[in-house]
Chain A
Amino acid sequence: MRPLCAQKLARLQAIVAERAAWTDQLAQVKRLHGWLLEVEHLLDESLVPEGEVVSNVTVGSRLDSWRERMAAQLTDGPLSELERECLTEFLHVLSNLLAAPGAVLRPGGLSPHQQRHGAQHSRAEARSIAA
């Protein structure tokens, strides 16, 4: 490789390597994202293996187990202040969700951005309906 190109290559590598400074924050975001995906997998009917029949009761109980496990992490787990705060809020949102009958299992074919029947509309959706 020509010296000029080698120099530019080294510069690009240095720029990409700068993200090492965000390693901790990134790991934190990935953990928070992971929790969200875990719950999404529990709630999304389209992710259920073919042939398995899942009722709201089953999903509710799986969600309860997940919530219990995560609530235990809140007290015993090595979570950062931000993770603790986000998880507390997440568990709070989930307990509100479970309080709404029929709002647990998302029917297959409904995208994660669509609301379940009877569920509260998001602000953006409410705006588009009003318009």
Chain B
Amino acid sequence: MREVRKQIKKQLATASPTEAKQLAVLDDYATGIVTALNTDGLQPFKYATVEASQMLEEIEASLQQLSKKGGP
């Protein structure tokens, strides 16, 4: 995930304005995924795994939407 974010940042520097906009959106998604993966739980009732999986489900649904629409 970190590698993908690095690549996006690198490509942002040389991207055209339209491409840069789209890459910025994807970078936000990447940040969201990293955040989900780093979610902390609060024992005994908040499980990190459960929270992270809910977040990733939402991100996946949103990515699918993005892919269908072809843009943000």
**A contacts, CB < 8 Å to B:** 1-2, 4-5, 8-13, 15-17, 19, 26, 29-30, 33, 36-37, 40, 112
Contact = CB atoms under 8 A, between A and B. Distances in A.
5 contacts: A2-B16, A4-B15, A16-B59, A26-B53, A29-B50
Given A1-B71, A17-B60, 4 more contacts: A8-B8, A9-B63, A16-B33, A40-B45
A30 B49 CA distance: 9
B19 A2 contact: yes
Nearest to A40: B45
A78 B4 CA distance: 41
A15 B53 contact: no
Interface residues of B, number: 30
A16 B56 contact: yes
Nearest to A10: B67
B1 interface: yes
Chain A interface, DSSP helix/strand/loop, else mixed: helix
B2 to A, nearest CB: 11
A37 B45 contact: yes
Nearest to B59: A16
A8 B53 contact: no
B45 A36 contact: yes
B45 A19 contact: no
Contact of A16 (B15, B16, B50, B63): B63
B42 to A, nearest CB: 8
B15 A15 contact: no
Across the A-B interface, the 5 shortest Cβ-Cβ residue pairs: A5-B22, A16-B60, A2-B19, A1-B70, A8-B26
